[in-house]
Structure 1
Amino acid sequence: MKRSKRNSGKDVYQIVNERIMASLEKGTIPWKRPWSIMGLPKNYLSGKVYKGINLWLLLSCSYGNPYYLTFKQAESLGGKVRKGTKSIPVVYWNFVFKHKETGKKLTEQEARKLPKGLVDRRAFLKYYNVFNISDVEGVDWKLPETSSKPSFKPIKACEDILKNAPDLPEIKYGEAQAYYYPAKDYINMPAKELFKSEGHYYQTLFHELVHSTGHQKRLDRKELWDTNGNDESSYSREELTAEMGASYLSNLCGIWEEAQQENSSAYIQHWLGQLKKDKRLLVESAAKAQKAVDYLTNRTD
C-alpha cells in the first residue's frame, strides 16, 4: 500500500488516461454511468465535491458511497486503510512564479503584487492519492441520511426473457459494478436500487447477458474467451457485440429511452473509434449480436 504522493516522475496525463480507458474496458462510461452512488464524489472531511477530471475518475469507481479521504486524513480519524487496497489518483494544478528580469522564484502573494508583465507563471499537473471510506477500517462514519427511493418494479417483458432464456449464468449482487466473469460463468450487477430507472438496470444486465452467450458452452464466441493476446481487437469486437445486443433486447422489451440511447451510442462510438480501420466490423458485430439475442429469446428461425 502506498501513501499519498505529491511528487512523482510518472506522467499524470497517462495516469488519468489509463484509468478512464480501464473504466471503458470494464463496460462503464464514467460520465454516463447508469447507476448512482449516493450523489457526487466528495471529500469526507471537507464535504467539497471533486471537480473536473477528478469527478469522472471517481465516478468510474465501483463504490456504493461517494466519500473519499487521503491516507493522512484517514489516520487523523483513527482509521486504517485496508491492506491491499489500491489508491485512486486525484489530480491538481501546481504553479511556479518567477520574476522575468531577475529569475527569482516568487511566492503567489509576491507575484500578485507585481505587474503581470514581470511575472512568469508556469503550471504543471500533479496528483495525490485518495481512498474510498469503505476501504478504511476503524472509523465510525457519520453519513447524511439519504432520501428514500421508490422500490424497484420488475418489468414483465424483461423478466420473461430472463425466465425463458436457456442456461443463464448466475447473477450476483456483490459489488457496485457490472461485469461478466467467463472463467466462473457468472454476472455481477450493482444493487437494483442504485440504478436511475428499471430500464437502465435491464439494459445493463442485457449487456452482460449477451457477453455470457459467448461462453464456450453456449455460442462459443472467440472474442470472449480467447485471451492469449494475439488479437488486440478481440475485446473491442466483443464489447460492440454486447452493446448492440443489449440495444436489440431493450427495444424488443419496449424499454428504450432517449437517455439509454445516448449512453449506448457513446459506448458504441468509443469502440468503433478503436477499430475504425475495419470496414466490416459493424456488420459483423450486428450479426453476432443478433445471434446472441436469438439464443436468449429461444428463436431458431
Structure 2
Amino acid sequence: MVEEIIGLMEQGDLGWTEPVTGAMAPHNPVSGCRYRGANRLRLAWAAGKRGWSDPRFMTYNQAMSEGWHVRRGERGTILEVWKEVLRKDAGREEEGEDERPRRCLCCVGSFTVFNAAQIEGVPELDIEPPADSGLEGICEAVKAAAPCPVREEGIDGKACYVPARDEIRIFDRRCAVSLNMFARVLLHEEVHSTGHSSRLARFEGGCADPFGTEGYAREELVAELGAAFLAAELGLPRSSEHAGEAIDHAAQHASYLSSWASLLKEDGNALFVAAAQADSAADMIARTWRK
C-alpha cells in the first residue's frame, strides 16, 4: 500500500484524500465514530482505488446488527488498532541520556471493515452542505481557528510558522492566486503551529528541525497531510481557476508530499505515524468550526 501511495504522490495524484462527499471524512454509521490517523489514510486510499464515493465503513457484524448484508464475495479493508504508550529506551539509559519515558504509537490489533457500497440495505447517504460555502467566509473561519496569532501581510507569496515567536506569517490573501489556495497554505502553517510545546509538542527541545534533516521532512509530511484532511473537511473545492488555467489542489498536495518520498521509502511506517499526528493536529484546529 505504501509503495502505491508513494507512486501516486510522484504522479501528482492525491485525489483520494478529498472524497466527493466533501466534509464527510471516513466514519462508522453504526458506532458514530470517525476513523482517524493511519486508518483514515487507508480508507481514503481504498475508496479512491475502488471508486467509492460513500465515506461510511463498518464491520460485518455491525452491518448485520442493523439488518444490512455484506454482498457475497466482497473483500473488506483491514484497519489497525493503535495506542499511544510510554517506553523507556534502555540504550539511552546506558549512555546517561534523558531517562524519561518517550511517547510512541504501538499497533495492538486489527479489524476489517466494509464500505457502504459493498453492503445491501444501507440507507442513502444524507449529505448536508457546509453552513458557509463562500470561500471568503471559509478563509475567515480558518484564520479564526489558528492556535496562535496570524500576521497576514506582504506580497511576496511566502508563508511560515515561527516557533520562537509562536506566530504564523502569511502573505496578504489579496495577492493569492485564489482564496482556495490561501486557505490551504494557511491550514498547512496552522498544522505546523500545533507542534508547539504548549499544544501537541512535536518539536524536540521546543524548536522545529532545520531544513534538510529527517525531522524536518517528517514534520512537513504531518503539515501537508493535515492540510489535506482539513481541506476535505471544509469542503474546499478541489480546483481553482487562475488566469484562465485550472489549478488542481489535490495534485499540488501530492507533488509537495512526493518531495519527501525518500523518507517514506526508507521508513514505510513514517507515513502512518505522520497521518496519526496530522489527524490529531487537524482535530485541534477544527474544534472551532465544529462547535
TM score, norm. by length of structure 1: 0.44
Q: Which has the larger radius of gyration?
A: 1
TM score, norm. by length of structure 2: 0.45
